[in-house]
Structure 1
């Protein structure tokens, strides 16, 4: 019995590779805190891909429908897909190029948090993003 408990506790205390490498967060909760995670690798869930281009993708977080049934946006992140993720990027280009909120474009995205403000000529951290990102499609 004691050996079994020691093995179980040892397994719980030792960080697994997935827990040690990156944190998971819902995009709605993460958008406001992203600037505190610059340089960290994260996985963002419930990311709706819109306005996909060859250079970047916009990920929006959506709040639950309001009483009138309207969808409200909670924030957005800029996604710059890594070179090794060309298949996922091509799929995003074919399915999520416009501003429509198709269910098929709700994904998880992993990448390194960065401040994209400078690429837009902004001084403050107002445009946050994930670079070297990988798109995780639900199917």
Structure 2
């Protein structure tokens, strides 16, 4: 199953524009630069899905553990799952509706980068997200 998912996600990262990312990026590394990739299709690894609902899911990137073992959220993106992605959405709703950061909800996500700020009445580029997203579960 994982091989098939990798092949699908690899095909989704084929550049559709001059600046599209060719390889998967880590959520933490990408979150700060996301505003420079609006309209591009990207694949992000190490996305911890939390607060899943029918309309959207939050993707949290985690920083490495501090010396005392504390793990901190270091990047956040809003995920709007593609309408055809019912299986991934259903699984996220069942497993990732709460705010837990367990390994069960760590996935790769592919989608088009967009500025979600206006949906929440915020100024531009304060809340970035992926729309028409596809979730690739690790198993």
Q: TM-score, normalized by length of structure 1?
A: 0.85
Root mean square deviation of aligned Cα? 1.5
| Pairing 1:1-139 to 2, within 5 Å after superposition | 20-21=14-15, 22-23=21-22, 24-139=24-139
Can you list the C-alpha shifts for 1:111-138, whole angstroms capped at 9, x where unaligned? 0000000000012210000000000000
Instruction: State the Cα deviation string for residues 51-101 of structure 1 (Å, max 9, x = none).
Output: 001110000000111111111110100000000101100000000110001
Offset, 1:41: 0.2
**Partner Cα separation in structure 2 for residue 44 and residue 19 of structure 1:** 10
Which of structure 1's runs of 4+ aligned residues deviate more than 6 A?
none
Q: Which residue of 1 aligns with 2:18?
A: none
Larger Rg: 1
Query: Which one has a larger percent helix, Structure 1 or Structure 2?
Result: 1
